[in-house]
Amino acid sequence: MEALEALADPTRRRIVELLADGERSAGEIAAEFETSRPGVSRHLRVLREHGLVQAREEAQRRIYSLDPAPLAELDAWLDRYRRFWPNRLDALDTEITRRRRERR
Amino acid sequence: MSDQVATLRAEEEQVGLRFERRYDATPDEVWAALTEPESIRRWLLAEAVLEPRVGGAFSLDWSADDRADGTVRASEPPRILEADWPAQPAHPPGGIASDALAHEGPA
């Protein structure tokens, strides 16, 4: 799950959150972090490579925006777990009760 | 059965979903339901081999094309059991972590 790999970093998650509110320039993004500018650029590159953000040039600035498609894909992927586990945990409850009743 | 919490957790380099449930049962009851193969078959819907020791096997067979070889990470019967299995084509990765506290009533 590519999007999930890209999100396995707190700085990158924060960048995605910022861009969810609207596009930002590279400078505006970097200003949000104590990390060095090259460090932030590295994170932005990872996010671009995983398709989570897009960049365009405007005058002298590079403007980043969120690509919602991978996040929708991530949501669908997470849905497998969301449907699997609650059912299993319900079944575990049933099994605990069944064992208890069987012992009486 | 009470609270259920589903959170998207990010711990260091890992991101995943965690589901928490509390069961109104003793540690021994939870341990048995988690580790007995005939119980695992009923709630996890897989034929299981579970060796309740650190590094022990936790093999799960959901079907002929859908199986996983997992590992027991922590085992302190009856209170603590942690085991997980890796991703494979037919099944997402997953795991269980049980931490059962015994509440003693007045004698």
Instruction: Tell me the chain B residues in contact with residue A85 when contact means C-beta distances shorter than 8 Å.
Output: 6, 17, 19, 94
What pLDDT, on a 0 to 100 scale, did the predictor assign at position B2? 46
Task: Count contacts between A and B (CB, < 8 Å).
Answer: 66
CB contact under 8 A, A99 and B10: no
Q: How confident is the model at residue B104 (pLDDT cuts 50, 70, 90)?
A: low
CB contact under 8 A, B42 and A86: no
As a whole number of angstroms, the longest Cα–Cα distance in chain A is: 78
ipTM above 0.95, yes or no: no
pLDDT tens figures, B56-85:
999 999 998 999 999 999 999 999 999 999
Residue A49 C-alpha, separation from nearest chain B C-alpha, in angstroms: 18
| Nearest chain A residue (CA) to B26 | A96
CB B94 within 8 A of CB B84: yes
Instruction: Tell me the chain A residues in contact with residue B90 when contact means C-beta distances shorter than 8 Å.
Output: none
